[in-house]
């Protein structure tokens, strides 16, 4: 069976990467692409690398244009998905790549985003470990509304959840510093994203507990078993087009045998096709994940500080967005989870 797909907000980086993933999926057919300022333009005028979709033309983003498809992917700015999604048929599989349906707390939404609050959907991070030892994957089968995680939240949650669930690390006093590629900021023209501003420089942003992915990370850690987690989260914009390198540290729980700490991550991710724990002494680089739906994890115990250091690398546009959407889509439709998703990156 071939499922028809519409992608809203298809002219942006996230929308373009969703299209690239969908174009290589054997059971999906992209029939409609919508945009705002690009209405009437050919898709390949905006995404010239997507040659197999050259027949498509951007139409206006309305519920009417999106209706009638088996699957709708919303790659819209935060605050724009909720109203459109509410108008779509309940039997349509809808995946929101924005934040509108990620948070279970309206208080958190009001504090970090503002505007109309929309109820949380099924959370599209299949590998997220829960306190009872199950994973988020179990909640996605048959779902018809899925919230795709934030890219930074994906990296930090995958880093921490196995240790929280097993009790080897504490849920308080966690630090996370992320080097983030500029595509994570979207395709909007901004002075700070110009090459002349970025090249040769690294710029922190969202400093001091204000970044919008913080409540999402905390929400995930609670699912993993943390009772009152605290996370100091600082992203840093670096001069690369795509990728996230997350350096996450957490206090080791009292009495934990440092030599056995790795077992929690290896056990949690041993059967995962897209989350790979590297051998001891090895740490990932973002270049190894470009174009792939993989998250690579390296671990080290800092004995002097009594902390665990977890390094995670992933492609923010694939495992951080489009790949997560397709992976969750596969689970929701009862298809093989890995269908249409690359594990091999692009090098050099």
**Within 69-167, where are the H helices?**
81-85, 106-112, 151-166
Annotated catalytic residue, options 33, 151, 296, 312: 151
Q: What is the SS3 assignment for 28?
A: strand
What are the counts of helices (DSSP H) followed by strands (DSSP E) for the chain?
10, 14
Cβ-Cβ contacts under 8 Å for 24 (sequence gap 6 or more): 340, 342
* Beta-sheet pairing, 231-237 with 203-204: antiparallel
97 is catalytic: no
Alpha helices, DSSP H, located in 225-270: 262-269
| CB within 8 Å of 120: residues ≥ 6 apart | 101, 102, 103, 104, 147
Q: What number of residues does the chain have?
A: 348
DSSP-H helix ranges across the chain:
13-23, 43-46, 63-66, 81-85, 106-112, 151-166, 195-198, 214-224, 262-269, 323-333
Residue 324 to residues 36, 46, 207, 290: CA-CA distances in angstroms? 24, 23, 26, 14
**Paired residues of 35 in beta bridges:** 60
Q: Which residues contact 271 (CB under 8 A, 6 or more apart)?
A: none
* Cα–Cα distance for residue pair 275/269, rounded to 1 Å: 6
Q: What are phi and psi of 275, to 5 degrees?
A: -115, 115
Return the bridge partners of 57, or none. 42
Tokens 């905390």 found at? 218
Q: Which residues contact 70 (CB under 8 A, 6 or more apart)?
A: 3, 4, 5, 92, 93
The residues assigned a catalytic role are: 151
């Amino acid at each position: 069976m071939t499922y028809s797909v519409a992608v809203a907000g298809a002219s942006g980086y996230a929308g373009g990467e969703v299209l690239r993933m969908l174009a290589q999926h054997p059971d999906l057919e992209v029939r409609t692409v919508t945009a705002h300022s690009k209405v009437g333009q050919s898709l390949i005028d905006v995404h010239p690398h997507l040659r197999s979709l050259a027949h498509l033309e951007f139409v206006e983003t309305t519920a009417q244009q999106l209706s009638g498809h088996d699957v709708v992917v919303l790659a819209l700015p935060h605050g724009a998905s909720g109203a459109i999604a509410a108008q779509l048929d309940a039997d349509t599989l809808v995946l929101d790549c924005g934040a509108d349906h990620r948070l279970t707390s309206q208080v958190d939404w009001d504090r970090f985003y503002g505007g109309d609050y929309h109820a949380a959907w099924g959370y599209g991070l299949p590998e997220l470990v829960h306190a009872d030892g199950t994973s988020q994957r179990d909640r996605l089968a048959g779902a018809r509304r899925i919230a795709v995680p934030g890219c930074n939240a994906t990296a930090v949650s995958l880093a921490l959840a196995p240790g929280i669930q097993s009790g080897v690390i504490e849920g308080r006093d966690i630090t996370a510093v992320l080097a983030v590629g500029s595509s994570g900021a979207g395709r909007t023209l901004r002075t700070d994203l110009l090459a002349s501003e970025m090249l040769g420089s690294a710029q922190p942003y969202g400093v001091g507990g204000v970044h919008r992915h913080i409540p999402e990370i905390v929400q995930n850690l609670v699912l993993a078993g943390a009772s009152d987690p605290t996370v100091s989260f600082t992203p840093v914009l670096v001069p690369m087009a795509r990728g996230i390198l997350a350096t996450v540290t957490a206090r080791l729980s009292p009495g934990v045998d440092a030599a056995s700490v790795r077992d929690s991550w290896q056990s949690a991710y041993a059967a995962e096709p897209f989350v790979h724990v590297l051998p001891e002494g090895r740490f990932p680089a973002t270049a190894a994940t470009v174009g792939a739906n993989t998250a690579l994890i390296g671990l080290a115990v800092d004995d002097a500080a009594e902390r665990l250091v977890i390094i995670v690398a992933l492609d923010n546009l694939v495992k951080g967005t489009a790949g997560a959407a397709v992976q969750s889509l596969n689970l929701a439709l009862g298809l093989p989870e890995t269908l249409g998703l690359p594990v091999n990156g692009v090098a050099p």
